[in-house]
């Protein structure tokens, strides 16, 4: 489907997909953050895997940990199955291994525990990417940048407002984008000269294999909880290694529109997750899922098309400014500015507005739902009202964020 360069042929990828995602609770009580639904039919991890696949990187190790079963099932039933990618590999998570082996203690420790896969490969480069962000990226461009600079490590960089930079690893660069200083989640982030923004790490790295093995083996002598941001990158800078930043804004993918450039979302909280989903239903969204030159791939399932039923004045099935997935039936109800996951049912005289419904949610007759997230397989009884009275929502056991998003889980 896509061109494969020599650089990507010589690259293996390690995807860190063990994130617990505590700030995204209660959606992450039964699943890891990379396994949370996004945009109706997708999982969050589908974005990084699509970027790797579209970039021509086919040997991918997915490192799972927390509540790994559902995520591994998704990978097995979609990526490993329908794409026929024998090269794609799902690593066995520590929670399913022998009791003598420990859970990951840091991002670099997770890679260290699977170092044997890197050592036994004939790869020149390792792409280490997180599995819990929403974006599109041609990773082959970052690998080529790494190769041209003869870098030991290249860090994907995002320009963020100063007030947001405290959540990231922040660094300074020289005129050649070589990193001169790095601080993990600093209280006073260093600004880009002449601007009110900072360079922040996206947590995505390209390593030269020999250097990665060297720094991990050395780092584990000093840190049991070895972490790239806290330990590895500062140690590499101190040793004089070639550390470069790759500006994500320079990355271009086929079919990209100008407004899409630099789009990257952390979706680490309920509010940011809700906002990123709602971004999709704008007339001209920053993240365009209809760009077939750079598709986001997932398990398509074997579902019939969505449909609407009834066309009476008092009972009309209609979906307005919404994403409605396969297998859905809007039966005499109204859906506005919402995302309805696969196999959803919205029954007569009901109203769903500004909401996200996960897979197989059934909304009963005369129900009203506003600014809510409804978890999968939930049945909303007839006449239920959600999102109009937050005191009543809390009394029913629903979670309500400060901005007024109601989360309904089992």
Nearest-angstrom CA–CA distance, 268 and 266: 5
Q: What is the pLDDT of residues 143-197, one digit of tens each?
A: 999 999 999 999 999 999 988 888 888 999 998 999 999 998 888 888 888 788 8
Average pLDDT over residues 359-387: 98
Q: Return the domain boundaries, the chain.
A: 6-279, 307-408
Q: What is the pLDDT of residues 17-75, one digit of tens each?
A: 876 768 899 998 888 889 899 999 999 999 999 999 899 998 888 888 767 677 777 77
Q: What percent of the chain has pLDDT over 90?
A: 63
Domain 6-279: state its class.
Answer: alpha beta
185 is in an annotated binding site: yes
DSSP for 24-64 reads GTTTTSSS-GGGSEETTTEETHHHHHHHHHHTT---EEEE-
Both tokens of 371, joined, read 């600014």
- Is the CATH number of domain 307-408 2.160.10.10? yes
pTM: 0.92
List all residues 6 or more positions away from 44 whose beta carbon is below 8 Å from its beta carbon: 33, 34, 35, 36, 38, 131, 132, 133, 134, 267
User: Which alpha helices (H) appear in 154-293, and where do they start and end?
Assistant: 209-219, 233-238, 270-279
CB contact at 8 A, 48 and 42? no
Spatial CA neighbour of 106 closest among 3, 233, 198: 233
List all residues 6 or more positions away from 275 whose beta carbon is below 8 Å from its beta carbon: none
95 is in an annotated binding site: no
184 is in an annotated binding site: yes
Average pLDDT over residues 73-87: 65
Angle at CA 278, nearest 5°, toward 23 and 72?
55
404 is in an annotated binding site: no
6-279 and 307-408 agree in CATH topology: no
Place of tokens 């500006």: 247
């Amino acid at each position: 489907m896509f061109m494969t360069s020599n650089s990507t042929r010589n690259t293996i990828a390690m995807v860190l997909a063990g994130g617990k995602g505590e700030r995204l609770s209660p959606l992450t009580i039964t699943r890891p953050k990379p396994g949370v639904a996004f945009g109706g039919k997708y999982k969050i991890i589908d974005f990084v895997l699509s970027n790797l696949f579209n970039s021509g990187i086919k040997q991918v190790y997915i490192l799972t940990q927390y509540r790994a079963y559902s995520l591994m099932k998704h990978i097995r039933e979609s990526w490993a199955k329908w794409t026929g990618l024998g090269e794609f590999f799902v690593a066995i998570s520590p929670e399913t291994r022998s009791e003598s082996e420990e859970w990951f203690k840091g991002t670099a420790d997770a890679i260290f525990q699977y170092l044997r896969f890197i050592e036994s490969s004939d790869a020149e480069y390792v792409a280490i990417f997180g599995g819990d962000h929403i974006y599109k990226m041609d990773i082959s461009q970052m690998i080529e940048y790494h190769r041209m600079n003869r870098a030991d490590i290249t860090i994907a960089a995002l320009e963020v407002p100063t007030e947001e930079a405290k959540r990231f690893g922040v660094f300074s660069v020289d005129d050649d984008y070589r990193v001169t200083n790095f601080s993990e989640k600093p209280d006073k982030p260093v600004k880009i000269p002449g601007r009110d923004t900072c360079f922040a790490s996206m947590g995505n790295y390209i390593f030269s294999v020999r250097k990665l093995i060297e720094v991990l083996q050395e780092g584990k002598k000093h840190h049991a909880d070895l972490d790239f941001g806290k330990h590895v990158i500062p140690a590499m800078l101190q040793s004089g290694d070639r550390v470069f930043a790759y500006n994500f804004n320079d990355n271009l993918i086929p079919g990209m529109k100008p407004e899409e450039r630099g789009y990257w979302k952390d979706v680490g909280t309920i509010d940011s997750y809700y906002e990123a989903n709602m971004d999709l239903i704008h007339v001209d969204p920053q993240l365009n899922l209809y760009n077939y030159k750079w598709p986001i791939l997932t398990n398509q399932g074997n579902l019939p098309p969505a449909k609407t039923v009834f066309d009476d004045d008092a009972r009309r099935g209609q979906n307005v400014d919404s994403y409605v997935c396969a297998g859905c039936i809007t039966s005499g109800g109204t859906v506005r500015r919402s995302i309805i996951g696969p196999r959803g049912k919205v029954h007569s005289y009901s109203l769903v507005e500004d909401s996200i419904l996960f897979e197989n949610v059934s909304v009963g007759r005369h129900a009203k739902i506003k600014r809510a997230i409804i978890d999968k397989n939930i049945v909303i009884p007839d006449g239920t009202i959600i999102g109009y009275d937050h005191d009543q929502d809390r009394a029913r056991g629903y979670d309500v964020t400060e901005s007024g998003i109601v989360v309904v889980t089992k």
